[in-house]
Structure 1
């Protein structure tokens, strides 16, 4: 039996595995050490602006050619740009739960979209409050319940409903929160842009015919029209970043405030969100920290959203919390290290957004392994592919129509629906993951090593694979 065969059998074994109850219970409680404050000087305020379904490749500071994101670009010129930050699960609720708890999805419990976290956990709201911080949140509030797990001060100002047709916002309450106390604060500004329905922003800035589309898309008039709407919301997001940066300066806090921008996961276009290709999993992060982080720098250090809360604790002067999955990347911010972790991991459970289609992934700085645990099943997502609401899924069906007599469109749509058990990519030479190297004899040993690393991580997480991608009884 060759190595590739063993890998495929491994994928199948996990497809029928049963999650042991005792294993799950062992991960539901998160022990912690004393988080007493270290000796520190004046501790900085922290403002974190998070996008919603952002294709980070569209940001001009990340190489985007369709829009000039001047405010986000300015932030990059003033701070450190991360080129390798990844969401472990490319959907909103799991990513935000990982951000706040420092845990991977199986361990925090929100391993399916809109599934709540376990109610016995702690989050950044506890950890920073224990260190003397006020912890607030304004905007999208999907992951703020239960209050016992997410004890944020909820601040008015930004729209909390990500599918709102409008996105009016005010900075009055945000300014009041920033200036209300001598205590330092950590404020999460959670934008709803550019999440669907793509009804905010000025579309007149963009010419659909001149847009440069990703190479893993099918070029249709419908796609271009929808893309214009999407870019208009990225403009809206960029304006919000500029407004928050200006507010920090106006309140005289810019010298002692860390400003972080986060891109979340990819866009609601086929092959991005709700998938583990880089178009969905790869994100963006920029950190401005006056006097601490060098301006106009970038790093290839691999980090995940689970690493952010441990880093905030470290910045605030706290001790590391035992039991978290993430680790601090403060040495990267301080330019004391060029690396943070060896691998980034990915998990996808398709329910409730479609039929069961569990996927797992692992990547280092160059290569990526994806295991599709039910490869004989067709991938289906109800938000992009449901024939009952074709009016809401016009992009996908325009791709399908073109695939009838267009070979490239047929290849892209087939890749999306029918997937092999094993995918392996050289991301340096194939960033859009279009050339599967799983059958390449030169990659057999590397694939075997990645598979073993992924299996070890799944076992540590209590992740039995396909058996957890099932409907949850309420």
Structure 2
């Protein structure tokens, strides 16, 4: 009940102050381009020399790379709804996948429309309920409609605009793009992957879709150029959460929740720069509000990082937080909730249902992970990676400076200095969960109540089949 009333207060008090009308014409347009299931490392400007992302790279050349940008969840629906509400997933009600926010919560279209903006979205939606997200919708709920985007941008309306373009790439099934440019045998695998032919084929197909998505970004930039509005537009690129490879999406490792973020804004963001300020997706909405001339409400979880963009500050957050709700996902565990807190060097992960085996569509399908399991029967390195994906201790603690891919859990044997930091991070995590109304394992078990009925029914059928066949490992 407390959380219910808290959200009503948020909905009623998250108000804005309009900009001085004299300066209204100087307010920028906003183009926010969101990828779909792209690991943050997989762009040229973020260190991957093998994948071709010329338009992301050019945008980074024109603006600022956000190299410590994080999603609040490693799944599409919670990530997007946190982005649009400025509230973390449990607090806004959309912590499971295929979920919906609490009634009465205001979202990006509400806030920016109040400031005189036209607010539109083209491409993937994945939010609910629809009436809580009153975007001007350009085309159907699938690929971006570039003809509609061009019409929107070229509209003679004097109002400034915000356009969110949501690609469906490089989300599986990885069946788009030209794989010829990525011969599987020539690719370099990151250390969290098991080297099998299936892994290499999958990486080739995934990279092809990353390049396909980069081309969609290029089309949006071309439309801006042709309209003459490029110099008056703040452009934000976000890669969303990690890819569907094991150790990425559905996990709270950096390969699951760290995002490739780029912001180009002529006259405000210095070209060719980067920032290591800790930023969360929930911070984007208040940043756009402030850039649009409004005053973001203190009731939002997010805080504007406009000072980072304009170079007046190098710091933003002391820590970022994230949640994973496995209950309800396709072929998911009965419950496998995860919470984490990360500062500039260390990460503390709490596995709420560590007694259970982690499962999802990757672990339970005859695909890439199945080849990892077969190799694990003879290869100790593969066996460690497979076991680490399926079963994890209650607490994980990583030194990201020494172990950026989080393969060496220090929780059982920290140094005295690390032990102190572990305790401090746990206290921060506990305090954040309490502030969010997150009751841990109890909140996980309520996940199906927040999902759309069709997805919840599908999950229940899967669990019933598992129990009937006796194949549940430890759930």
Q: TM-score, normalised by structure 1?
A: 0.90
**SS at 2:131 equivalent:** coil
1:208 offset after TM fit, Å? 0.2
| Residues 229-260 of structure 1, C-alpha deviations (whole Å, 9 max, x = no match) | 11110010111111111110110001101111
Aligned equivalent of 1:360: 339
CA 28–225 in structure 1, closer or farther in 2 if over 3 Å, else same: farther
Q: TM-score, normalised by structure 2?
A: 0.90
Task: Please provide the CA RMSD for this pair.
Answer: 1.4
Query: Partners of 1:120 and 1:207 in 2: how far apart?
Result: 50
1:25 offset after TM fit, Å? 4.1
Residue correspondence of structure 1 range 386-401 to structure 2 within 5 A: 386=364, 389-390=365-366, 394-401=367-374
**SS at 2:318 equivalent:** coil
**SS at 2:382 equivalent:** helix
Aligned equivalent of 2:192: 216
Query: Partners of 1:48 and 1:257 in 2: how far apart?
Result: 10
Aligned equivalent of 2:468: none
1:468 offset after TM fit, Å? 1.5
The answer for unaligned runs of 5 or more in structure 2 is 454-475
1:441 offset after TM fit, Å? 3.5
Residue correspondence of structure 1 range 365-404 to structure 2 within 5 A: 365-381=344-360, 383-386=361-364, 389-390=365-366, 394-404=367-377
CA 170–306 in structure 1, closer or farther in 2 if over 3 Å, else same: closer
Match of 1:112 among 93, 96, 106: 96
Aligned equivalent of 1:72: 56
Query: Partners of 2:185 and 2:9 in 1: how far apart?
Result: 53
1:36 offset after TM fit, Å? 2.4
Aligned equivalent of 1:176: 151
Query: Partners of 1:99 and 1:272 in 2: how far apart?
Result: 20
The answer to whether the aligner puts 1:456 opposite 2:431 as a matched pair is yes
Aligned equivalent of 1:9: none
1:127 offset after TM fit, Å? 0.4
Match of 2:6 among 26, 38, 42: 26
Where relative contact order (Cα < 8 A, 6+ residues apart) is larger, the structure is: 1
Contact 1:29 1:121 in 2 (8 A): no
Match of 2:234 among 254, 258, 269: 258
Moved more, 347-356 or 326-335: 347-356
1:171 offset after TM fit, Å? 2.1
Query: Partners of 2:441 and 2:241 in 1: how far apart?
Result: 22
1:34 offset after TM fit, Å? 4.0
| Residues 115-139 of structure 1, C-alpha deviations (whole Å, 9 max, x = no match) | 1111211001000000000000000
| Residues 196-236 of structure 1, C-alpha deviations (whole Å, 9 max, x = no match) | 11111111111100111110110100111111111110010
| Residues 6-56 of structure 1, C-alpha deviations (whole Å, 9 max, x = no match) | xxxxxxxxxxxxxxx434543354142541212235111110110000012
Aligned equivalent of 2:134: 151
Query: Partners of 1:340 and 1:38 in 2: how far apart?
Result: 24
Aligned equivalent of 2:386: 413
Query: Partners of 2:80 and 2:71 in 1: how far apart?
Result: 9
Which segments of structure 1 move beyond 6 Å, counting only runs of 4 or more? none
Contact 1:301 1:341 in 2 (8 A): yes
1:96 offset after TM fit, Å? 0.2
Contact 1:200 1:233 in 2 (8 A): yes
CA 252–375 in structure 1, closer or farther in 2 if over 3 Å, else same: same
Query: Partners of 2:203 and 2:245 in 1: how far apart?
Result: 9
1:65 offset after TM fit, Å? 2.5
Aligned equivalent of 1:16: none
